[in-house]
Structure 1
Amino acid sequence: MCRFPFSLIIGLVSAIFACSINNANPDAICFNVLDYGAAGDGTTDDSQAFLMAWNEACSSETENPTLIIPRLTFLVSPVVFRGPCKAKNINFLILGMILAPDSPQTWKGLDQSQWLAFHGVSGLNVGGSGWINGQGKGWWDQSCRYHPHMKECTSLAPTAVKFLSCKRSSLSDIHFVNSAQTHVLIMRCDGMEINHLIIQAPETSPNTDGIHIQASYNVVINDIIVSTGDDCISIGDHTSNIYIFNVGCGPGHGISIGSLGRSGNIVQVENIYVSRVYLKGTTNGARIKTWQVGKGHVRGVTFENLYFDSVKNPIIIDQNYCNIRGACKEQKTGVQISDVLFENIYGTSSTDVAINLNCSRSVACTGILMKSIYLTSDKIGHKLTSYCTNAYGYSLGMIQPLPCLQI
């Protein structure tokens, strides 16, 4: 089990008390964005005030500086909060609401993949009781996914918050709503803890994943609720030591590893642990998806203690993933999927195939272990089935529907 430095969370809690808005502790070093010219009226662009406050907090030689966003509404254009910082730990305390521009035109000439980003910061604690509102509707209305024939439709939209090349950092207690695309991205990070989040976007919003992890290690996610239009949590390539606990998911696309290997690259994903997840009305439950052209491996994966409520594909491995079903030619390559455990999984399926292990005919799935699985149909009188292609492993205890693994 990955042991995370919980002192970071304690440091953020201490900052909340030390840097109260009305009576700041004179011994605490706090940087309130209002002191740098932020208006907090929801219409004035407060980006420069945020950056000035960040730059001073980041360059402060105090041990534990805190940047404060008080209980007002702040309109912020795309910004990057850059490190490294002089302090061992730095707190980014959100008590009010940070609001994105509502027009995609604001990103003209800028990187339209991001809105708020933290880059190269160690000991970063982002938290508070506040909100981050991505105002994504303008992007959704011109999405190529739903409007493929629209002139200048967009397939890339801003992620609400990116953590890039950060170490020993945390995100806690924030309420995210309506990101234009993914809500939280963790990329090239080592040591990240995410706690007590609520993430919400309409079920029809395109590509609005809750949390996506890419090229990162030693990540712990605990106690979050995600209701969006895409994966609640998705795990990308070059990830390891990922621990996910106590998640409420739905609507959305479930908990997904992948898709992986789309460009034919070598995939390296291992030691993924998912436990105590409740999924309601999601497209998928526990899913691993890889492209046939990929190489490398996914191994050491555990999905346990999951409860499904009317989930379309409760357990699914797809080594033949394709963005257009049936349109990708069968290849002799594939990502090796091995040592995967599905244990203590219960609930209902909204389709008749509750267990679907669609493995490559060239690169089999191996070491699949199923223990204590009991799934029933959410429709009276329907009988569930399992489907397996080139999947090898063992089943222990009660398995319903009947398993189809090859020994």
Structure 2
Amino acid sequence: MRLNVGIENILVNVMQFGAHGDGTSDDSQAFASAWDSACNAGGMSTLVVPAGQSFMVTKLNFSGPCTAQINIQVLFFHACNNLIVRNLEISNSPQSHVCVNMCNGATFSHISINAPATSPNTDGFDISDSSNILIQDSNIKSGDDCIAVNGGCSFINATRVTCGPGHGISVGSLGRSGERDTVSDVYVQNCTFIETSNGARIKTVPGGSGYAKHITFDQIILQNVKNPIIIDQNYGVDNEATNVEVSFVTYRGFRGTSASDVAINLVCGPSIDSTCKNAHGTVTNTIPNVSGLTN
């Protein structure tokens, strides 16, 4: 099965097959019928799911082989449970190729994503407010993050993913526009980065709050990667304090080559100080040191 974004031929709209899009009616049969029509069309067909409407579907199985090359407009998974997506080729999306939002339990396997290195904002996977997401055995070429793990995510696993070109696998940006963002329990293992601008990246924006914790990058292969390991807590802004806490981060089993002299770049915010006035009490083991109180 092959998916291309942005090429039109035969348009197959789910509304033509009885979908309601009102957020309450069961549109499963309409989606199944539209898929069958698109799959069995000659040449190339485009499956259209109109924007601005909510479709309720359950237990759908979109499968091939198809006689047509399938084209899908905007591949966005919202509020899905126990989703399985496999054996797809996706090319040249105008923005993120696969968006995952408010999903619990999803497995993506054997996904091939292909976009030029010069294409802006073309994340391979853009994940937010989701948990228990697995991306495995996939190849991602993009002009932005191969996988972006955004706020509200937990238990995200990427294994046997090849990334490049692209910006690497990123946790963040967190704290954008002063928001409180949280990410925990991200495990990236047995992944390969080929000539990417970053490898294992965590990025937070000054002014926001929240945390990124229990992040593990394990058994990583690097081929001419500019920033193999990078934590940037001043992302987009220099010398401003960040309130997004980064903790319990593990890097294990990295091997390969760096395209720059700085293979490990940890920018954990500017230096901070303390000031006390008319304060009384004791302090123990603080960073920074609190002057004026008894240690």
Q: TM > 0.5 between the two?
A: yes
SS in 2 for 1:300: strand
AA paired with 1:216? S
Return closer, same or farther for 1:223/1:97 CA change in 2, 3 Å cut-off: same
Partner of 1:52: 17
Does residue 180 of the first structure (1) align with residue 94 of the second (2)?
yes
Equivalent positions of 1:216-231 (< 5 A) are 216-231=130-145
SS in 2 for 1:263: helix
Does residue 256 of the first structure (1) align with residue 165 of the second (2)?
no
Return closer, same or farther for 1:99/1:343 CA change in 2, 3 Å cut-off: same
Contact 1:277–1:307, Cα closer than 8 Å, also in 2: yes
CA shift, 1:53, in A, is 6.5
Matches of 1:344 and 1:233, distance apart in 2: 20
AA paired with 2:13? S
- 1:20-59 CA-to-partner distances (Å, cap 9, x unmatched) read xxxxxxxxxxxxxxxxxxxxx953432257x517669835
Return closer, same or farther for 1:65/1:79 CA change in 2, 3 Å cut-off: closer
Partner of 1:213: 127
Return closer, same or farther for 1:333/1:355 CA change in 2, 3 Å cut-off: closer
Contact 2:211–2:245, Cα closer than 8 Å, also in 1: yes
Partner of 1:90: 60
Aligned residues: 257
Return closer, same or farther for 1:179/1:42 CA change in 2, 3 Å cut-off: closer
Does residue 305 of the first structure (1) align with residue 219 of the second (2)?
yes
CA shift, 1:266, in A, is 1.1
Partner of 2:190: 276
Which one of the candidate residues 42, 45, 67 is aligned to 1:74? Answer: 45
Matches of 1:59 and 1:280, distance apart in 2: 40
Matches of 2:10 and 2:220, distance apart in 1: 45
Return closer, same or farther for 1:201/1:339 CA change in 2, 3 Å cut-off: same
Unmatched runs of 5 consecutive residues or more in structure 2: 2-6, 274-286, 288-295
Percent identity (aligned): 36
Tell me which moved more, 260-269 or 277-286: 260-269
Contact 1:65–1:91, Cα closer than 8 Å, also in 2: no
Contact 2:17–2:34, Cα closer than 8 Å, also in 1: no
Does residue 339 of the first structure (1) align with residue 253 of the second (2)?
no
Contact 1:234–1:258, Cα closer than 8 Å, also in 2: yes
Return closer, same or farther for 1:59/1:287 CA change in 2, 3 Å cut-off: closer
Which one of the candidate residues 100, 104, 126 is aligned to 1:190? Answer: 104
Matches of 2:112 and 2:238, distance apart in 1: 40
Matches of 1:358 and 1:196, distance apart in 2: 34
- 1:79-115 CA-to-partner distances (Å, cap 9, x unmatched) read 2584433x5x111235332336xxxxxxxxxxxxxx4
Matches of 1:227 and 1:337, distance apart in 2: 28
Return closer, same or farther for 1:342/1:329 CA change in 2, 3 Å cut-off: closer
